[in-house]
Amino acid sequence: MGLNDSSPGAMRNGRGLSDQWADSVVVRPRTTERHITVHKRLVLGFALSILTLIIVTAVAVVLSIRFEECGGRDRDGGAGESGSRGAGGSARLNGSRGERNGDKADEETVQPWRNSRLPGSVRPRHYDLRLAVYMDNFTFSGEVSIELECINATRFIVLHADRLEVRWPTQRFLTVPAAPGFMRIHRHFPFPANQMYVVVLHRELKPMRLYRLNVSFDAAIEDELLGFFRSSYTLQRERRYLAVTQFSPIHARKAFPCFDEPVYKATFSLTLRHDPQYTSLSNMPVESGSLSDEDGWVTNHFARTPRMSTYYLAWAVCNFTYRETQTDSGVTIRLYARPDAISSGAGDYALHITKRLLGFYQDYFKVQYSLPKLDLLAVPKHPYAAMENWGLSVFVEQKILLDADVSSSSYQMELTMVVVHEICHQWFGDLVTPVWWEDVWLKEGFAHFFEYVGTDFLFPKWNMEKQRFLTDVLHEVMLLDGLSSSHPISQEVEQATDIDRVFDWIAYKKASLCGLICCCCCCCFQDYLLSHMYSNAARDDLWSKLSQAMRSEGRDIDIGEMMDRWTLQMGYPVVTISKNQLEQLPTHYITVSQEHFLYGQEVKINNSLQWQVPLTVAVGNTSTVCSESLIWISNRTETHRVGQMDENTWLLGNINQTGYFRVNYDLQNWKLLIQQLHTNPQIISVGNRAGLIDDAFNLARAGYLPQGIPLQLIGYLPEETSFLPWHAASRALYQLDKLLDRTDEYSLFSDYVLKQVASRYHQMGWPTNGPGTEGNVLQASYQTEELQRELIMLACSFGNKQCHRQAVAYISDWISSNKNRIPPNIRDIVYCTGVSLMDEDVWEFIWMKFHSSNAVSEKKILLEALTCSDNTFLLNRLLNLSLTSDLVPEQDVIDVIIHVGRNPQGRNLAWKYFREKWDVLNARYGEALFMNSKLVSGVTEFLNTERELNELKEFIQSSGVGAGPALPRALEIVEGNVRWHRLHRRQFYQWLRKPPSSALG
């Protein structure tokens, strides 16, 4: 829903001005005062008039107070709010029952607080926020003075507040700056349904005038990961506490009354008062600090921020230490963390790459970083991997602290990409912010794309942008986007509860493909950022800049028209390419058709969806590949001319999978491609080999292809020497493993996988910790390390005896020598394999090491290893400990439940535990968008029987409220699992029992 049409800059259908109001609004000049000569009698009359006015006003005030004391009922029957009691009154915002009924007709008909969006009649220009933080009892009190600009005449000030005890020291509303005076507040009340607070004035505010609203409040420092929340850690057996903010997307209102929508940008001046044993941080540097003579407390005044949205304001109160560096342009970078983590150097890596990244992005975007400093804060728990608050980015410890001696290259890569993502947000998100949450992908999509661009800059040999982007982004998001429960990248958001839906991998990963398009012309990035810096942007602003860039290069392409098909429609197409079947056309013509790809393809939800598809096509044979050609597909079926073909020529579409769609072929073309891979796979590029594997398995999963085609396709893998095709294959095989690991004929599948893995696994061998290799995770070639790791994981997971013996030998050596000689890059595989094969003593040993380790990456894989046991008693014990004790960090509870569910021996346990503890889990993680979705999908994705499907349906019916879109999506996935068993499992196992000479046989 857009703003009210009466507001300047009102939006319709998500499109509108880059900012809600133009900054160039001209203030109406004041009329020059005249010098007037008056008669004494006129003066006397004027004085009598003033006296009469005072008496009338006094009577009116008395009547008004009497009316307010009476309460009254609103037109919906709600009880009056007792919070508007006059000077010094307070109102608790959670649990109150509604607003008072006004005594004027306009209040009965015009109630903007009933709208889910703020009315837009006033806008904040500056917040002066002063807070006192009490860490001894986890509360805080504050005062906020908000400078407001009136846009449209109104008697209502509507802003957000949630769970705050609001106190009104005065019922006067001060006008500023040139005409000192006060406006009376008629009444004020919370409206909890929309987390709003309403101030009703005695008379209207005037457009283009400035006013100041002063509010005091108290609140608790919560223990729920949102708003201003608390966390803790242990140092030398002493429990220490810290408090930090997490305001995105709509939780600034939990910390202070504010206009908590992205478009209401303002500047902020923050003052924090706290016990001197703590350090306080915020977006800007400390401008001045003082020590109170009375109580010894510290008061820090932070510098004024640039214009920004409320959800990027941040502060923290902690007793962390830091290390710092400085960029060539003078920006100070500090990393704050637990004192023991800082002294061990665990933050040095992130600090080093942040310095390089700030310089990289400034050069790439040609826009300077806007603040004088950037702090990175590592906290023990957080609802997300990280949050990009401007100048104070907050990370969960596991995503920023690197213990070089024990961390794998995979862990380092993941950490690197999280840091790269958050630093990119300092431009895309902080500097230029989406107008509204429906376009959250404008920041998240770019930041996710630049995870790969920025990591390529840091480590060119990793080849992230050209290779891992394919398997980690494209392949993963297409799994979600192929469901009928998917949604467009840009979707309408009205209620606060709807915001949950836009924070998922569709917004992050599918939207990152837009970055690919924009990278065609880097100059559009600079133009886009400079045009909207310190302001807001909608999707059409981006398309406009990109179209201009295209036209400047002589390409007249309407980017908006093309991209609306991809951003305003859910899903993606499957493009089917066939050689010409019509005798009247020569053999160099192909027929191309498109349809909406769905895993449940027999359940079509919308047959009208079409896309503008940029299809690249190449033709080849056993010895050569012709140059590719680009074809634009706009209709359901089209015929196009390509190179000359004969019966031995194969077609290959979507070269290197640069397009967001799947490609299918006629069966004869699949046969030719399979033959090519088996005889000379190098003719087809690495990216295309990976793409063929991913498309084939998913087309078969959805019923577009016979089950034998992908199985015969990967028969060439013993000759595959590149990581990327193996990575694509392993992802597909693990998807099948979820479906089959509890079936009677599972050994047919596992034996087939081991047959493909064996020769390459034995050739690659195991990594070693030779002299000089400890602590250097970049020593070996990254691609070689990752391929070796992939093969070991496949071999151990599917039961290779030699792999099992090696893992057990490593664990036994560790126990006997008390020295861990297991190479860091494969520790998670070895730990899990050892726990699953060995006795209870090994489980207890790993449990002990989990508690004694201080390295966050090591603790993570030790805890996950405990979920690999075949002993259901131990798995039950771990589940109960995770939720009912302090032995498992709160941040890791969800991962424990999910990993128990991934264990075939623990699947029923995790599923039962999830249902029994749903109320507790949902209360703890429900508002943390990603955590709740991760929990639901992680526990349910392995369910694949009719009984489990019925249990899920019953659970949704009885307890589904509060899980947002996660449960409907989970239901569709489980229905798809059950459907695959019903329709395809028999054919799949028939092929494995006796593979025909051809996959098409």
Report the CATH number at residue 501.
1.10.390.10
| One domain, residues 271 and 315 | yes
Q: Is the pLDDT of residue 760 over 90?
A: yes
Q: For the ranges 87-96, 751-760, 763-772, which has the lowest average pLDDT?
A: 87-96
If you search the block for the tokens 């999707």, which residue do you land on? 539
CA contacts within 13 A on the Cβ side of 369:
28
Mean pLDDT in residue range 542-569: 80
Per-residue pLDDT band for 515 (boundaries 50, 70, 90) equals low
Amino acid at 467: Q
Q: Give CA 967 to chain center in angstroms.
A: 18
Q: Is residue 250 part of a domain?
A: yes
| One domain, residues 312 and 330 | no
Q: What is the percentage of the chain residues whose pLDDT exceeds 70? A: 82
Q: Is the pLDDT of residue 727 over 90?
A: yes
Q: Is residue 85 part of a domain?
A: no
Distance between CA atoms of residues 578 and 664, nearest Å: 9
**Catalytic hit among 68, 99, 107, 422:** 422
| One domain, residues 859 and 888 | no
pLDDT of residue 708: 94
Per-residue pLDDT band for 14 (boundaries 50, 70, 90) equals very low
Q: Is the dihedral of CA 727, 729, 735, 740 positive or negative?
A: negative
Most confident of 378-387, 541-550, 562-571, 779-788: 378-387
Q: For the ranges 62-71, 270-279, 531-540, 865-874, which has the lowest average pLDDT?
A: 62-71
Q: Is residue 38 part of a domain?
A: no
Q: Is the pLDDT of residue 354 over 80?
A: yes
Helix, strand, coil % over all residues of the chain, rounded to 5: 45, 20, 35
Mean pLDDT in residue range 826-833: 97
Q: Does 762 carry a binding-site annotation?
A: no
Q: For the ranges 304-318, 367-381, 883-897, which has the lowest average pLDDT?
A: 883-897
pLDDT of residue 49: 53
Which two tokens mark 136? Answer: 């001894």
Mean pLDDT in residue range 839-868: 95
Distance between CA atoms of residues 410 and 723, nearest Å: 14
Distance between CA atoms of residues 589 and 752, nearest Å: 39
pLDDT of residue 843: 97
If you search the block for the tokens 């500047």, which residue do you land on? 267
Q: For the ranges 642-646, 681-685, 779-783, 812-816, which has the lowest average pLDDT?
A: 779-783
Q: Is the pLDDT of residue 512 over 50?
A: yes
Q: For the ranges 335-349, 442-456, 490-504, 639-653, which has the lowest average pLDDT?
A: 490-504
pLDDT of residue 605: 55
Per-residue pLDDT band for 927 (boundaries 50, 70, 90) equals low
Q: For every residue of 337-374, which 3-state class applies, written as one string?
A: ECHHHHHHCCCHHHHHHHHHHHHHHHHHHCCCCCCCEE
Mean pLDDT in residue range 858-875: 96
Mean pLDDT in residue range 396-420: 92
| One domain, residues 476 and 523 | yes
Residue 732 structural domain: 716-768+783-799
pLDDT of residue 829: 97
| One domain, residues 196 and 300 | yes
Q: Does 774 carry a binding-site annotation?
A: no
H/E run at residue 130: strand 122-134
| One domain, residues 805 and 847 | yes
Distance between CA atoms of residues 823 and 836, nearest Å: 19
Total-model pTM: 0.86
Which two tokens mark 599? Answer: 């895993």
| One domain, residues 583 and 691 | yes
CB 91 within 8 A of CB 83: yes
Which two tokens mark 747? Answer: 């050994």
* Domain end call among 847, 868, 889: 868
Report the CATH number at residue 917.
1.25.50.20
Q: Is residue 278 part of a domain?
A: yes
Cis peptide before 207 (omega within 30 of 0): no
Question: What crossing angle do the helices spanning 893-902 and 856-866 adopt, rounded to 10°?
Answer: 40
Distance between CA atoms of residues 500 and 496, nearest Å: 8
pLDDT of residue 81: 40
pLDDT of residue 60: 47
Which two tokens mark 880? Answer: 């109960």
Q: Is the pLDDT of residue 39 over 50?
A: no
Q: Is the pLDDT of residue 912 over 70?
A: yes
Sheet holding 279-282, edge to edge: 227-235, 238-246, 315-318, 279-282
Name the 3-class secondary structure at 876: helix
Mean pLDDT in residue range 433-445: 89
- How many other C-beta atoms can be found within 10 angstroms of the C-beta atom of residue 744? 7
Q: Is the pLDDT of residue 819 over 90?
A: yes
Report the CATH number at residue 261.
2.60.40.1730
| One domain, residues 471 and 535 | yes
Distance between CA atoms of residues 514 and 566, nearest Å: 9
Per-residue pLDDT band for 501 (boundaries 50, 70, 90) equals low
Q: What is the DSSP letter of 81?
A: P
Q: For every residue of 4-68, which 3-state class applies, written as one string?
A: CCCCCCCCECCECCCCCCCCCCCCCCCCCCCCCCCCHHHHHHHHHHHHHHHHHHHHHHHHHHHHH
pLDDT of residue 752: 96
Q: Is residue 774 part of a domain?
A: no
pLDDT of residue 308: 97
Cis peptide before 573 (omega within 30 of 0): no
Q: What are phi and psi of 819, to 5 degrees?
A: -125, 125
pLDDT digits (tens, 9 = 90+) for 150-192: 999 999 999 999 999 998 755 556 665 555 667 788 889 999 9
Q: Is residue 531 part of a domain?
A: yes
Mean pLDDT in residue range 667-685: 94
* Domain end call among 319, 340, 357: 319
Q: Is the pLDDT of residue 834 over 70?
A: yes
* Domain end call among 290, 319, 348: 319
Distance between CA atoms of residues 961 and 496, nearest Å: 15
pLDDT of residue 32: 36
pLDDT of residue 604: 54
| One domain, residues 220 and 308 | yes
pLDDT of residue 5: 37
CA distances from 753 to 246, 686, 726, 927 (A): 45, 21, 12, 41
Q: Does 425 carry a binding-site annotation?
A: yes
What residues does 212 pair with on adjacent strands?
147, 174
Mean pLDDT in residue range 674-691: 94
Per-residue pLDDT band for 103 (boundaries 50, 70, 90) equals very low
Q: What are phi and psi of 84, to 5 degrees?
A: -100, 70
| One domain, residues 255 and 332 | no
Q: Is the pLDDT of residue 624 over 80?
A: yes
Q: Is the pLDDT of residue 105 over 70?
A: no
Q: Which residues contact 879 (CB under 8 A, 6 or more apart)?
A: 896, 897, 900, 909, 910, 913
pLDDT digits (tens, 9 = 90+) for 294-347: 888 999 999 999 999 999 999 999 999 999 999 999 999 999 999 999 999 999
Q: For the ranges 59-73, 275-289, 483-497, which has the lowest average pLDDT?
A: 59-73
Count how many domains the chain has.
7
The residue that leads in pLDDT, 79 or 814, is: 814
pLDDT of residue 978: 95
Q: Is residue 93 part of a domain?
A: no
Per-residue pLDDT band for 466 (boundaries 50, 70, 90) equals low
Q: Is residue 353 part of a domain?
A: yes
Transcribe 513-557 into DSSP letters: HHHHHHTT-THHHHHHHHHHTTEEE-HHHHHHHHHHHHHHTT---
| One domain, residues 336 and 225 | no
| One domain, residues 501 and 526 | yes
CA distances from 33 to 30, 38, 47, 73 (A): 9, 15, 21, 46
Average pLDDT, the chain: 83
If you search the block for the tokens 């962390």, which residue do you land on? 320
| Active-site residue flag, 790 | no
